[in-house]
A and B are shown apart, each in its own frame.
Chain A
Amino acid sequence: MTDTTETQIREFLEKSIEENEVMLFMKGTPNQPMCGFSARTAAALGALDVRYAALDILPDPRIRQELSELSGWPTIPQLFVNGKLVGGADIVTEMYETGELAELLGTDQPAADEAPEAPAAEAPQSAPLGLENRLR
């Protein structure tokens, strides 16, 4: 069992959203996504070559509970930009395809028109890597 409280998880999530300009909550990691929807969302960010922080919600079921309560969004992944929920896999993919995501993130749309398929090759530099340990 863990002695991390729901309040501590909630505070950590709030801080992650606040401190990381581009914050992705997903199942698994960008290199090893554990769900197709999370893979697709990480791939869109990877294709735009933006730096982002990613947090795996799987290690503790309470992470997802607290996140959904916080955001009012029922599913994973969830992408936050500048502290605001942008959406899940559908919205992020749609915004990638229309170029709105590149615009929002202040980057250039890659030349290839097709939707990204492969997950980002590199782990985000700014990921709050300590979370998994802290929650145990």
Chain B
Amino acid sequence: MHCSEQSAAIFAEAMPSATELKNRIEGALPGARAEIQDLTGGGDHFRAEIVSDRFAGLSRIDQHKLVYDIFGTEIGGPIHALSLKTSTPEG
């Protein structure tokens, strides 16, 4: 998957590891379980599958926003892409 907007400046910033992303998501959403895959091995395209009861009653868009908000401007920066699948423990 090639995207065209990466620049040298982005690579100069520290790129997070899958473990770091997992810890930050689980830290920000207590009780959540996050499975992270580094899709390219390059530390910039991640896939996260997150189960949390905090998502209950929220639309998909609000569930994803909750996760994006943890990382703020790092999304689109050092974390070039974070693909999400969110669900609640009930399903």
- A and B from one assembly? yes
Chain A residues close to B by CB (< 8 Å): 27-28, 34-37, 58, 68, 72-75, 85-91, 94-95
In chain B between 25 and 77, which residues have their CB closer than 8 angstroms to a CB of chain A?
Answer: 60-61, 64-65, 68, 73, 75-76
Residue of A nearest to B77 (CB): A74
Asked if A75 contacts B76 (CB within 8 A), the reply is yes
Cβ 8 A contact of B4, one of A34, A89, A95: A34
A89 and B84 CA atoms in complex are apart in Å by: 9
Interface SS majority for chain B: mixed
Q: How many residues of B contact A (CB 8 A)?
A: 18
Asked if B5 contacts A58 (CB within 8 A), the reply is yes
Asked if B85 contacts A37 (CB within 8 A), the reply is no
Asked if A91 contacts B64 (CB within 8 A), the reply is yes
Q: How far is the CB of A97 from chain B (nearest CB, A)?
A: 11
Q: How far is the CB of A89 from chain B (nearest CB, A)?
A: 7
For the complex of A and B, the 9 pairs showing the least CB-CB separation, nearest first, are A36-B1, A35-B3, A74-B75, A34-B4, A91-B60, A87-B61, A90-B84, A74-B68, A74-B76
Instruction: List residues of chain A with CB within 8 A of the CB of B73.
Output: 74
Asked if B1 contacts A90 (CB within 8 A), the reply is no
Cβ 8 A contact of A35, one of B2, B82, B84: B2
Residue of A nearest to B61 (CB): A87
A37 and B84 CA atoms in complex are apart in Å by: 12
Known: A36-B3, A88-B64. 19 other contacts (CB 8 A): A27-B5, A34-B3, A35-B1, A35-B5, A72-B65, A73-B68, A74-B73, A74-B76, A75-B68, A75-B75, A75-B81, A85-B61, A87-B61, A90-B64, A90-B83, A90-B84, A91-B61, A94-B60, A94-B85
For this complex, 29 residue pairs linking A to B, each with C-beta atoms less than 8 Å apart, are A27-B3, A27-B4, A27-B5, A34-B4, A35-B2, A35-B3, A35-B5, A36-B1, A37-B1, A37-B3, A37-B81, A58-B4, A58-B5, A72-B65, A73-B68, A74-B68, A74-B75, A75-B68, A75-B75, A75-B81, A75-B82, A85-B61, A86-B61, A87-B60, A90-B83, A90-B84, A90-B85, A94-B85, A95-B60
